[in-house]
Chains A and B, each alone.
Chain A
């Protein structure tokens, strides 16, 4: 658990969480299983037309090269591959399941812009490092899920965190410790365990602010991706700033600045496609 997070603080949020939609649960589980029935999952996704619409918008973007030709979930899986469609299902499912509330301080649109942006950064970096880009994309999409949990379960405290952070110009983590007694990384980890996210994604959520030796590749790459996303001003609030970049994570990944320069246009291109997930 992150420094300063109490078990009570975490449980207060995670204890009341609703279950995730069946399609999202199965898609997440498929990262750790080989015997996946993609047709059955496609059928479950197709029951939620709002989710399908979001997925098809991205599937038809220039990025995947099938512009306008993907009409159904089944076609999306055949043309893009089940492997590539999973992260889109997870994102669309969460966006659908936790819609914005009116008059809150929490900006859903910016939240998802940051998480989609971090997912894209993680995918581009992981692919460049020869690792599984889609798993990295999914971990990036979910890295701040703890913030969403606070917003859904304790909206009053979610507002208080946003106001505290703005009034005192503190980091989000500091504001969360002050108001909640726990931060979104620890709360997200609690939710990820409860929702049975793949183990590597659980660790990436828990450690994305300060990955350690034992946190694993996903935590390192999501950490760098999130910092990069802030630096690129993707999904930032007016008050956001670029958080510290862990020299250890940077070194473990073996990244070079030249590689980052090379990745930036690709990140921008892929982010434009993935952001089609948002909007009505």
Chain B
């Protein structure tokens, strides 16, 4: 996941937050992973937030490469799993989770 620091003026609804946005006293206003909406954007403006880190969407080629890297690592981790049905299922669940997060 590529991160990019942008000013609040450039932030748009639908963008995903890459790192917790904290207020001046250190309290978390918006947690990493949250998707911006019009409401959250005006709330951040009211709290005096001027910039935030967002996730840059992947290009189709990058996405394919990321999925290949996920599968490659899972091949190593599950190399002794054989046809064990539970481990196959576990691998599927972890892969699904990783791909969904891209």
- List residues of A whose CB falls within 8 A of some B CB: 62, 67-68, 171, 227-228, 230-233, 236, 240-242, 244-245, 247, 250, 257, 260-261, 264-265
B87 to chain A: which residues have CB within 8 Å? Answer: 242, 244-245
B28 to chain A: which residues have CB within 8 Å? Answer: 62, 67
Chain B: residues with Cβ within 8 Å of the partner, total of: 25
Identity of the chain A residue whose Cβ is nearest the Cβ of B78 in the assembled complex:
A242
B93 contacts A by Cβ under 8 Å: yes
Contact of A233 among B77, B86, B89 (CB under 8 A): B77
* Best-surrounded residue of B20, B22, B28, B80 (most CB of chain A within 10 A): B80
B90 contacts A by Cβ under 8 Å: yes
Which 4 residue pairs of A and B lie closest in terms of their CB atoms, listed nearest first? A68-B26, A245-B86, A264-B97, A241-B80
Identity of the chain B residue whose Cβ is nearest the Cβ of A272 in the assembled complex:
B32
Query: Besides A245-B87, A247-B86, A264-B93, 4 other CB < 8 A contacts?
Result: A68-B27, A242-B80, A264-B94, A264-B97
- Answer whether A240 and B77 are a contact pair too, CB < 8 Å, given A227-B90, A261-B93: yes
> Which residues of B (62-81) have their CB < 8 Å from a CB of A?
73, 76-81
Rounded to whole Å, the gap between the CB of A214 and the closest CB of chain B is 22
A18 to B96, CA, bound (A): 45
- A-B pair count, CB < 8 Å, reads 57
Identity of the chain A residue whose Cβ is nearest the Cβ of B91 in the assembled complex:
A231
CB atoms of A231 and B94 under 8 A apart:
yes
Rounded to whole Å, the gap between the CB of A234 and the closest CB of chain B is 11
B50 contacts A by Cβ under 8 Å: no
A171 to B79, CA, bound (A): 12
B59 to chain A: which residues have CB within 8 Å? Answer: none
